[in-house]
Every structure is written in structure tokens, then in C-alpha cells.
Amino acid sequence: MIQETKTERQIGQIISVQGDQVRVALMADYLESGRKDRLGQIASFLVVPVGEARVIGLVTGLEVTESQAGTMNLHLIGQISQGRFYRGVHQYPMIGDAVMAGEAQDLDAIFDRPDAGETLLTSSSFMLGRFALNTDYKVFLNGRQFFSRHAAVLGNSGAGKSCTVAKIIGESIKHPNTQMIMFDLHGEYRKAFSNENGQMDSNVTYLDENDLVVPYWLLRYQELDSLFIDRSDPTIIANQVSFFKEALIKLKKNSAKNLELLTTYNVDTPIYFSLDHFLTYAQNMNQARFVINTDRYAFSRTALRNLSLPEQEEILLTQKSQFNQGNPQGEIPHALYFQKLTGLIDQIEHKYNDKRYDFLLHPVEHAKKSKLFSGLFPQIMEERTDWSEMIVWLIKMLTGDLEPRKNLTIVDLSGIPFDIIDLTIGLITRLIFDYNFYTPVNFRRPIVMVFEEAHTYIPDNEIKNSFARVSVERVAKEGRKYGVSAIVVSQRPSELSRTVLSQCNNMIVLRMNNPEDQHYITKVVSDQFANLIQMLPILSPGEAFVLGDSVPMPLRTLITPPERRPASNNVDFVEAWSKSQPPELLDQTIGRWLKQERPQKE
């Protein structure tokens, strides 16, 4: 470790310079006494005076040869000029240059907060923790670099990822105009942003399965297809697809007319249509027959057969209709849809009647039951035939455009069916990206999206219809241009989308034991830091290597715990086993299970 001394101490001299890699021959004095002072341990800094500059090198390896001569590897990081640290090296060391332990003012320059003395409104940095090799020094992240260039928080379960994320968010939302959206898969973060009574902080919106409303009509055709199309019989998939697209165009027509979109709308336009009418239309067309040699539908009620075709179609779209069964004379079944939509109907009815899908498939009714939603937008209690305006209310909730303003929106997905978590995250991410995409540049508010357990829905392997992956990769590749940034959090980086992780210019890497994950991170952050990555298994909980544009150089950091920790602790099996359970617990649990009612959150 660099020592705070009045007189600099020489460690050795340079014997090789190759690009940003330097090899140092250690002095005999270092081999004798340097170990006692722990000088030059891996991940510490040493100094090479070059003219008026002081080049800073990160220790990446130590070795003693057969001749007992000691050598050290340095990775050049930057230089100190006129008392300030700059990334990059302008004056390279030469063979024979002395390598020094450095002085206190070197550390002062490296750890100097660039915006010291600024107000909360203008400050661009925040404290993450303390330098592990000298805790007198605080580690600050440059917020401009951290948020605008994407970030990843990686580490084993129990290594401290949740506390690190809570610390980053907690420090960030102290700024009055911060805007962040977090996807919380396990309901951990409510505790970190609420008081002891469970009341959320005034600048935080919390959306769990009771208050989250994501209307189905915001889904694109491909997303609706994955939700409802029955693919068990490949011979009739094309029939379902044809019906689906035809029905969407017909059912969205009224909303398109109201919004003056008749000439531009399509199956993907996010405007209202009735899912009840969609189901009715599917049931009718599954039984539909024509009067032979005509284009009129052969309703069982003769009077309906004499209506014009547009009038008949209106009935089919809105009313359950009856057709004759069997093979009645003078009628012919609908060639494309007759008895070929049964699987589609079953898929819709199954999900439509599952209350866990209410936030998506019964959005109006679900919003009316939500005290949060109905309190913010009392218009939801009105009777309407067109609910296209709900996209405005949803965007307001997600982006904190409320009174008072919210800086953080936590989307708790722990109560959402697992099979549509991908769809839900993909949709919300796409909405936020598109919202900023179409917002005038002068009014665009940057938004940071935090993706917890990202490897579960942003996988590296190609999976058909991985909507979250498509949306998050778009944010990773294009989001910075439109003010949308990502923080991905994962315990299995080797399973995470390479496209997303390669775009993260900042990484906070905590303890990690899996060799595959270590190897993958090494490839992402550069081979020069391979020795640092090999140290990951020995890091203590809450200790991390911080790398990237937001710090002056790779820093081994002790993360300062957040003021309130998330509920991320593992279950204490021994303690739980030592307690008896009330006799009525089983019946109560089965009752909630059958009613699909989760226990109250802590």
C-alpha cells in the first residue's frame, strides 16, 4: 500500500515497458522490509516520476524468479500533473526509471472529488464507499459518466449486490431531478425506501401487483401473439395469426377514428381495443358459416341474414352470435376460421380468468381497485368506451411526473406470473425508450432503468420472443442518444446478454466464485486486469472492484451500506427450524393459494 511518508521510498526500477504494461525489478530493500509495510500488494498504486508528471501504475502481479530476484507488473492508469489526476499517460516511463511508493498528496489527487464545494443541484458525483487499502479515502462515482454510459453490478448471491444497488439509488435520488425506474423481481427494495411503518418515502412510487397497471393494448402484435396464439397444432397457426391481425385492425378502428389515426394506424399502434370484443369475435368466427354462394353470414336467426355485411360484422364483433350446428342445407363453414380458433379461445379464456393477469388483461378494473392509481387519476372511475388515454397515466407514474414529483419508481414483479415477466419488462422498457425517443430534445428528461436479476430475462443465448432482451439491448445500443440508461444487476454475468454487458462502461464487481463468470468478466474488462478478477473469490461481502469511466482508475472499494438495507437476506434455516408454527397456518396458506392472494409484505 502506498505509504504516507515525508520522503518517498523507492520500490524498484523499470526493466520493461510494453504499451501500458510495465515490469519492475524490485530492490533488495523492498524484498527485505517492504513486505512488512505491505507495499505494492496487488490492486495498490505506485508512482513513476517522469519529468514534472507522476505516472500512476496499478499493481497487477508479483513474482520471485529462481535467482530470488523479485519483479512486479504495473498497469499504467494515468498521471498527476500540477496536483490533479488525469486518466491516460502523456509521458511514458523509460527503462531504468525509479518506481516509488508515493506520498499522501498522490492519493489526495487521485481521490479528490471533482465537484467538491458544489451544491446538490450542480453536484455530479456521489460517495459509494471507501478505498479498501486505505479507508481514510472515500470513493466517489462520477454520476455523469456512471449513468450516461451504462453500468453493471455483478457478484454472487450474498456478496452485497442489493445493498450496493440500494446505495447507488439512495445517493442518486437525493438530487431533486433524478429519475430512475427499478425492476424488483423479489420484492426486496420496498424496505430500503420506506420507514419502519412501511410507508414509502415521499419521492418514491411503489408499484406491486396491486397497483401496477399495464394495459394489454400497449402490446405489439408479436407480444400479443406470444401471449395468446396456440402453437400445439402447427397446421392451424397460420389461421390464428390471420384472424388475430384482422381482428386487431377492426377492433382498433374506433379508437383510431377518435384519435384521427385512421390513415396511419396498424396492428402495433398502442390504442385501445376491447379484449371482451376480441374474445366474442373469435368465438363467433370459430362457428361462422356463410349462406352458400353469397358473402352473407348464415346466422341461425333468419332476420340477421338479411342485414348488410357491415351490419353483420358489427354484430360479430360485439355480440355472441348463434349459428346452426351440423351440416345444414344451403350453408357453408367459414373456410379460414371454422373450428380453427378453439386453441386461441382457450388461451385467452385461461389467462383472462386468472386474476394474476388482471394488471394486464383487466387494466381498467384493476386500476379502479388500486387506491394509488385511482387516487392519482380519478378519471379512471368514469364510464368510457375508449381508454387509450391510459398510456398517458402510465407514463406519468413510471416517470414520476406526479405531485409531488417522484424520483424513483419501483416495479415489484414478485407477484407477477413468471411466464409474463419477460413480456412486462420488455413492454415497460420499450415504452420508456419510445417516450424519450419522441420527446423534443430540449424537454427530454434522462431516465435510468435498473434491471435486477438481469440474466433471467436478458439471456445471452438466443431465445425466441425474448422481448425484454430486445428492449434492453436497444437501450444498451441506442439509449444514451435519447437519455435512457441501464444498470444491469446479475449473479451470473456469463449468462447475461453479451450485447448489453459489452455496452456497460462501468462495472462494480463483488465477490464471484464461478470460474465461468470470472473468465467472462476478464474478457469484458480487458486481459490487463485478469489478476484483479482472480481476486474476486477472496473479496469480503460488500467489497468490490469498481472499474470504468466513473472512477479515476480501478479501485478496490468497501461499499458503504445504505441507510436502510433491502430485504435481501437469506432465510435463516436454523432459526426458522427452532420455532414452532401455529396450527392454523396450513389451512390459511392453502386458502390464500386457492384465492391467489399473497401474504402481506414485510
Of all residues in the chain, what percent carry a pLDDT higher than 70? 93
Residue-level pLDDT at 345: 97
Handedness of CA 128, 132, 134, 135 (dihedral sign): positive
pLDDT grade, residue 590 (50/70/90)? Answer: confident
Distance, CA of 127 to CA of 9 (rounded, Å): 31
pLDDT at residue 2 is higher than 60 = no
Kindly report, residue by residue over 255-291, the tens digit of the pLDDT: 999 999 999 999 999 999 999 999 999 999 999 999 9
**To which residue does cell 468478466 refer?**
521
Burial bucket for residue 353 (CB in 10 Å: 0-12, 13-18, 19+): exposed
Using an 8 Å Cβ cutoff, are 58 and 530 in contact?
Answer: no
Q: What is the mean pLDDT of residues 532-549?
A: 88
Q: In whole angstroms, how far apart are CA 46 and each of 27, 526, 532?
A: 14, 21, 16
Exposed e or buried b per residue across 262-300, where buried means at least 16 C-beta atoms within 10 angstroms of its C-beta: eeebebebbbbbbbebbbbbbbbbbbbbbeeeeebbbbe
Most confident of 31-45, 98-112, 138-152: 138-152
Helix H or strand E encompassing 205: strand 204-207
Take residue 235 and report the three cell numbers written for it: 397446421
Q: What is the mean pLDDT of residues 107-113?
A: 85
What fold characterizes domain 10-110?
Thrombin, subunit H (2.40.10)
pLDDT grade, residue 5 (50/70/90)? Answer: very low
- Closest C-alpha among 21, 97, 83, 12 to residue 53: 83
Kindly report, residue by residue over 509-525, the tens digit of the pLDDT: 999 998 888 888 887 77
Verdict on whether the full-model pTM lies above 0.75: yes
Average pLDDT, the chain: 90
Residue-level pLDDT at 63: 87
Distance, CA of 54 to CA of 48 (rounded, Å): 6
Where is average pLDDT lowest: 114-118, 144-148, 299-303, 587-591? 114-118
Using an 8 Å Cβ cutoff, are 158 and 543 in contact?
Answer: no
Q: Where are the domains of the chain?
A: 10-110, 218-350
